[in-house]
Structure 1
Amino acid sequence: MNILFTCAGRRNYLITYFRHALGGAGQLVAADCSDQATALREADEAVILPRVDAPDYIDELLALCAEKQIALLVPLNDHELPLLAREQARFSAIGTRVLVSSLEVVELAADKLATASFAEQVGLLAPKTYHSLEAALVALDCNEIQFPLIIKPRWGSASLGVEWVEDRETLVLAWRWSQHRFPALGLRQDAVDGSGLIIQSALPGQEYGLDVVNDLSGRYRATFVKRKLSMRAGETERATTESHPVLEAVGERLGQALGHIGNLDCDLFYDGQRVYLLELNPRFGGGYPFSAEAGADVPAALIAWAQGREPTSRWCELCAGVSVAKCDRLVQMARINRQAEVVSMSGPAEAMEIPGVSSVGH
C-alpha cells in the first residue's frame, strides 16, 4: 500500500517509523508547500503542493492520491484537518483513506474554549478561561484566579502568540500587544466580536503528554503516557515514558468520548490528585517519537487496520522508564522537482551518546 504524508515539514522520524512498519510493501510519498521541508528527503517520492489555504489545495491533493494510488493519507498540520474532514467522501471515492477525525472532533480540538467545556463534560478539570481582558480583571479582583496567567490564541497552533504574564500591568500590556500583532499570525478570529484571544490560568502539577489511539472505526485501543521534561518551540523536547493507571484511564475516557480516528495527541497536568486537560490534537503530534522509541508502533497498527486486519499485540507494548531527547540532524538538500524521487541521509550526521537517553532526530 502507498502512504502519503501531507504538510510533512520536519517530521522525518514519522516517515522512518512508517517505513519500518510497511516493510517495503509500498511507497512512502511526502508532500509540502516548500521544497525546503526536510521530511521530503526521507520519503520514496517528494511532491510540492499548493499551500493549505490555496483554493486548489484539495483538488491537487485528490489528483495526487489518484495518480500515486494512495491508500492512506496522513495529515500532519492542524490547518488542513478541517478541510480533509469535510472532503473525506471524495477521497474515499478514489480509494484513499484519510487519517482524520470527524469535523466535530476536529473543531472541538482546535477551539480552546470548547476543549475546556469538553473537559468538564467528561469529568476532568480545565484551566479557568476568559474570553476578554475585562473578564479576567474582574476574576482577579474577586480572587477567582491568581497570577501567573497565560494569553494565547483561542484557535492557536504550535504555541504561536502565547504570552506568560506575572502581574496586572504586564497582563494589560501583553493583551494589547497580542491584539495588535494577532492579524500577522494568520490565526482564526471570532466571527462575533473579532477577538481570537483568551486568558487562562496556569495549571498546577506535572505536565504529561498522552498518545490516545483509536482504530479507524473510532474504537479505543491504547494510551501511551509520557512525563514531559522540557519543551522547545511548542513541542516536547525531552520526556520519559511511564506506566500510569490514572492517566491511562483518562486516555481511555477521552478516546471513548471523542471517537476520534488514529492518534490523539493530548496535553494535561496531574498534581497527584486532580487531572487538568489542556489541549487536544487529533493527529500525530511532536510527542509521538517518545512513545515509538519506547516500543509503541502506531504506524503498524494503522497499516493493519487499513488493510482490514488486526495488528499483533506488540504494537501497543510500551516500556516504562525510557527517557528520550530530540536532537538536530543534518539532511542533504537534494533538488526537488514537482514529483521526483529523492535521496536522504540514512541517519544523523553526528550524534553524541548519552547514557540512559536515546536521541531522536527532530
Structure 2
Amino acid sequence: MKKNNILILSAGRRVELVQNFQTEAARFSDGIQVLATDLNPRMSPACHAADGAFSVPPIAAANYIDNIFDLARQQGIGLIIPTIDTELQKLADARSRFEEAGIHIVVSDSELVALCRDKRATAGLFERCGIATPEIYGRENLTFPCFAKPYDGSRSIGAKYIHTAEDLSYDLLKDPKTIFCQYIDITNKFTEFTVDLYYDRSGRLKCAVPRERLEVRSGEVSKGATRRNGLYTLLAGKMAHLEGARGCITAQFFYNGSTLYGIEINPRFGGGFPLTYAAGGNYPGWLISEYLYGGAIPFFDQWENNLIMLRYDAKVLVHE
C-alpha cells in the first residue's frame, strides 16, 4: 500500500489545520487523504472536517502508540502530525519505530521535547540560543509581583499572577510543579509574540513568522497580527539552527524593541497557526513536500506583514 496519507492526531477543534493540509494535499494530485484521530471523533469538529476519522485510546494508555502504529499501517499513512503537548514525548520516543516502517512522525527529537516540556529546562535552551528568560525565583526568595505556573503546563492552565505575598496561597507554594518567575509587565512597553518557526529535517530554520498576540482566550490567540520587526531579525540569527527540531515549532516571547525574553517553546503546531498559513507560511505544503516526496525546502521570508486575524466561533452540525 502506498504510504502518502496524512494523519492529524488529537484533532479536537483544529478544523482550520485539517483544512490547510487538505488544501495543500490537493495540489499534489496524488490522492492524498487527510485523516484525523480523537478520543471521541463524533464530538470533534476537526474529525468531521477530515477525510476520515478514527477513535484512539487516551494518550496515557499503554497501547496508545501501538494503536497509532497499527492505524497508520492500515490506512497508508506516510505523515503523522501531533497537535498537543502531552503526546509529544511518547511519539518522539517511538519515532524510529515508525521511520523503519516508512511512516514519518513530524516530531522533534526526544531530548528537545523533554527540554520544551519542562519550563525550567527551557530557560537553558533559550540561553544556548543567546536569548534571555525571566528569572526563576526560589520559593524562599520570591520577588513580588511574580508569575506562577506549572513547569510542565500548557495553554495557560494553572498560570497565575501573584501581586503581593498576600495573594500567595499555601497550596500554590507547596505544589512541587509550580515555578515562580519574574513578572514581565506587557503594559509597560513589552509586547507578547508567538512565533511559528519551520525547521527542516536537519534542524535548519526555513521560515519564521512572528504573530503579535492582540487578544488571548483560554491560552489561545483569538486576535493576532503578523509583524516583521526587530524580533524577526533577532530570531533569524539566534535560532537559525535548533538541534533536534523538526517541522513547526511554536515559541513565545516578550519584546520591546530592544530587550527580548524567551518564555516557552512548544514543538508542535500552535492554535494560531492559521494566521501564519494565511500570511504565506506554507508549513503543511512544505511538510508534504519534504517528508512524502523528499523535497528540499528553501528559506522563505515573503510572508505578508501586518496581516490581522480575528477569530470567531463557528459550528459543525452532526445529523443523526
**TM-score of the superposed pair, with normalisation by structure 2:** 0.91
Residue type of the partner of 2:71?
Answer: L
Give structure 1 regions of 4+ aligned residues with deviation exceeding 3 angstroms.
177-180, 310-313
- The correspondence of residues 27-38 of structure 1 with structure 2, limited to 5 A, is 27-35=33-41, 36-38=43-45
2:73 corresponds to 1:45? no
| Matching residue of 2:87 | 80
Residue type of the partner of 1:108?
Answer: L
Instruction: Judge conservation of contact 2:207–2:281 (CA < 8 Å) in 1.
Output: no
Q: Distance in 2 between matches of 1:274 and 1:247?
A: 13
CA-CA distance at 1:168 after TM superposition? 1.1
| Matching residue of 1:310 | 296
Q: Distance in 1 between matches of 2:111 and 2:236?
A: 19
- Alignment size in residue pairs: 308
Q: 1:109 to 1:255 in 2, by over 3 A?
A: farther
| Matching residue of 1:339 | none
| Matching residue of 2:131 | 124
- The correspondence of residues 1-362 of structure 1 with structure 2, limited to 5 A, is 1-23=4-26, 25=30, 26-35=32-41, 36-130=43-137, 132-136=138-142, 140=143, 146-147=144-145, 149-171=146-168, 173=169, 176-178=170-172, 195-204=176-185, 205-306=190-291, 307-310=293-296, 317-334=302-319
Q: What secondary structure, in the 3-state scheme, does the structure 2 residue paired with 1:333 have? A: coil
Q: Distance in 2 between matches of 1:88 and 1:300?
A: 21
Is 243-252 or 119-128 further displaced after alignment? 243-252
Q: 1:309 to 1:117 in 2, by over 3 A?
A: closer
CA-CA distance at 1:117 after TM superposition? 2.1
CA-CA distance at 1:215 after TM superposition? 1.1
Larger radius of gyration: 1
Q: 1:55 to 1:318 in 2, by over 3 A?
A: same
Instruction: Judge conservation of contact 1:228–1:236 (CA < 8 Å) in 2.
Output: yes
| Post-superposition CA distance 1:227-283 (Å, at most 9, x none) | 110101011111111112443431542251344000110100111211100010011
| Post-superposition CA distance 1:308-347 (Å, at most 9, x none) | 123588x753110111111100001356xxxxxxxxxxxx
Instruction: Judge conservation of contact 1:220–1:252 (CA < 8 Å) in 2.
Output: no
Q: 1:252 to 1:332 in 2, by over 3 A?
A: farther
Residue type of the partner of 1:72?
Answer: L
Instruction: Judge conservation of contact 1:266–1:280 (CA < 8 Å) in 2.
Output: yes
Q: Distance in 2 between matches of 1:212 and 1:81?
A: 17
Identity %: 30
Q: Distance in 2 between matches of 1:248 and 1:77?
A: 28
Q: 1:111 to 1:46 in 2, by over 3 A?
A: same
Instruction: Judge conservation of contact 1:293–1:324 (CA < 8 Å) in 2.
Output: no
Q: Distance in 1 between matches of 2:7 and 2:319?
A: 20
Instruction: Judge conservation of contact 2:204–2:242 (CA < 8 Å) in 1.
Output: no
RMSD over equivalenced CA pairs, Å: 1.8
> Structure 2, unaligned stretches of length 5 or more?
none
Is 35-44 or 52-61 further displaced after alignment? 35-44
Q: What secondary structure, in the 3-state scheme, does the structure 1 residue paired with 2:232 have? A: helix
Instruction: Judge conservation of contact 1:210–1:251 (CA < 8 Å) in 2.
Output: no
Instruction: Judge conservation of contact 1:265–1:282 (CA < 8 Å) in 2.
Output: yes
**Larger RCO (alpha carbons 8 Å, 6+ apart):** 1
Q: 1:38 to 1:255 in 2, by over 3 A?
A: farther
Residue type of the partner of 1:309?
Answer: G
Q: Distance in 2 between matches of 1:64 and 1:263?
A: 23
Q: Distance in 2 between matches of 1:255 and 1:209?
A: 17
> Structure 1, unaligned stretches of length 5 or more?
141-145, 183-194, 336-362
| Matching residue of 1:357 | none
| Matching residue of 1:191 | none
CA-CA distance at 1:225 after TM superposition? 1.2
Instruction: Judge conservation of contact 1:30–1:40 (CA < 8 Å) in 2.
Output: yes
Q: 1:108 to 1:334 in 2, by over 3 A?
A: farther
Q: Distance in 2 between matches of 1:37 and 1:125?
A: 39
Residue type of the partner of 1:97?
Answer: H
CA-CA distance at 1:304 after TM superposition? 0.7
Instruction: Judge conservation of contact 1:223–1:252 (CA < 8 Å) in 2.
Output: no
Q: Distance in 2 between matches of 1:250 and 1:133?
A: 32
Q: Distance in 1 between matches of 2:301 and 2:98?
A: 29
CA-CA distance at 1:120 after TM superposition? 2.2
